[in-house]
Amino acid sequence: MKNILIVIIGPTAIGKTALSIQLANHFNCDILSCDSRQFFKEMEIGTAVPNKEELAAATHHFIQNKSIFDSYSVGDFEKEALQKLDELFQKNPIQVMVGGSGLYVDAVLKGFDEFPDIDPAVREEINTQYEALGIEYLQKKLQELDIDYFHYLEKTNPQTLQNPQRMKRFVEVCIGSGQTYSSFVGKRKNTRNFTPIVIGLEADRAIMYERINRRVTIMMNEGLLEEVESLYPNKKLNALQTVGYRELFDYLDHNTTLELAVEEIKQNTRRFAKRQMTWFKRTENAIWFDFETPVNVIIETISSKI
């Protein structure tokens, strides 16, 4: 039997974890988490890590397996996830992957282009310039070094031009290699030893937003503020530049009230969910279901594809 990777995608708070456990139990397989926020052991409540009962219900991988102090990239995850899948496919040719991080899902399904190693001094200088001059520095630099890629982003994904981490990467590749970033794109052909079956979960926007608001309230009741307080000394780490943590750091810095910070978490999570859906809707051959679809219907659909 050929290897099959069942991939569950969709916005935050839609029910991906519950479905992944049901599918793993049905197909007697493991679950790979593909959520870039759930890798970190110091972040639990604010990342909606599966609870003890959920973790006990199926074998999970890549849950709280890294520290916020570790350097860990999407490329590292791609390599480790593919190695783990090779292992798991030896036991069962069907496995499940679940997560809301579109970039990380794409890394496993398609892989990325190969880029040269960059001198850390180049990265440090770009960081220094960004801290002093802001996102405009990165935008001007990319225009100067790779105008074609800048125009491509303007047309296809303008929000990326506002993303400091992505923009720093584009600029550092240009400076560090002496070539344009676009000259490396599309050169590498990645092969996979599995066939993906991609299952998407969705809901009407009003329902999705109501579920998000409810989840944030639950997180606060479970001790999110205390979790953020414990991480406050490390608030500048990359891993902590994320929704649910940034807003409460603002509160702890006396820049806002707790009530406003919680409302900001809800609003930013809703925006995040909207971006997730925009990304995932581009996924080729994904089969979309309403989040309340009975699991047996989804299992029948998957079984018909195997």
pLDDT score, position 247: 97
If DSSP states are collapsed to H, E and C, what string results for the chain?
CCCEEEEEECCCCCCHHHHHHHHHHHHCCCEEECCCCCCECCCCCCCCCCCHHHHHHCCEECCCCECCCCCCCHHHHHHHHHHHHHHHHHHCCEEEEECCCHHHHHHHHCCCCCCCCCCHHHHHHHHHHHHHHCHHHHHHHHHHHCHHHHHHHHHHCHHHHHCHHHHHHHHHHHHHHCCCHHHHCCCCCCCCCCEEEEEEEECCHHHHHHHHHHHHHHHHHHCHHHHHHHHHHHCCCHHHCCCCCHHHHHHHCCCCCHHHHHHHHHHHHHHHHHHHHHHHCCCCCCEEEECCCCHHHHHHHHHHHC
CA dihedral 203→31→40→106, nearest 10 degrees, is: -70
Question: Which residues line the annotated binding site for substrate?
Answer: 12-17
Q: What would the two tokens of residue 19 be?
A: 């479905």
Binding residues: 10-17
Nearest residue to 126 via CA among 158, 162, 174: 174
Per-residue pLDDT, 87: 97
Provide the Cα torsion 167, 170, 176, 177; round to 10°: -170
Q: Strand 94-98: give its sheet, edge to edge.
A: 60-61, 31-33, 94-98, 4-9, 195-202, 287-290
Model pLDDT, residue 189: 67
pLDDT at position 6, please?
Answer: 98
What CATH number was assigned to the domain covering residues 4-112+190-305? 3.40.50.300
Domain segments of the chain: what residues? 4-112+190-305, 120-184
pLDDT of 74: 87
Which residues participate in the annotated binding site for ATP?
10-17
Closest by CA position to 36, among listed 89, 108, 99, 94: 99
pLDDT of residue 71: 85
120-184 CATH pick, 3.10.20, 1.10.20, 1.10.357, 3.30.530 = 1.10.20
Mean pLDDT, each 10-residue run in order, the chain (306 residues): 94 96 98 95 95 96 95 90 97 96 92 85 94 95 96 88 92 96 82 95 96 97 98 93 96 98 97 93 94 98 95
Measured at the alpha carbon of residue 95, what is the angle toward residues 14 and 283, in degrees to the nearest 5?
Answer: 50
pTM comes to 0.81
